[in-house]
Amino acid sequence: MEIGLNHYLVLSTILFAIGLVGVMRRKNLLMLFFATEILLNSVNVAFAAISHYYGDLTGQMFAFFVIAIAASEVAVGLGLLVVWHKRHNNIDLDNMTSMRG
């Protein structure tokens, strides 16, 4: 049995659904970042699979840029998370009503 494009797209869809449920249900900011990363990785799987299927490198380049954007998102987000935790001793999203200094 050969693994084809449909298998990768189904995997990508499952990962996207897991990430979407994680984004919708989480109240902890760290878990929200993890769910966002799952969403972005599902898109990367789809980009890379379609790129390989058509023999074009465009999808793989898009995946590379998505990885770079995800890394910068995590760096900024975790920096904000550390500052928020030092000030308020929790990272619950319900308590984050304002970002005043």
pLDDT above 70: residue 98: no
Residue 68 to residue 6: CA distance in whole angstroms: 26
Q: How confident is the model at residue 100 (pLDDT cuts 50, 70, 90)?
A: low
For domain 5-95, which architecture applies?
Answer: Orthogonal Bundle (1.10)
Predicted TM-score (pTM) of the model is 0.80
pLDDT above 80: residue 57: yes
Residue 12: which of 56, 74, 66 has the closest Cα?
66
Mutual orientation of helices 29-54 and 5-25 as an angle, nearest 10°?
160
Q: What is the pLDDT of residues 13-53, one digit of tens each?
A: 999 999 999 999 877 888 888 999 999 999 999 999 999 99
Domain boundaries, the chain: 5-95
Residue 31: which of 99, 96, 78 has the closest Cα?
78
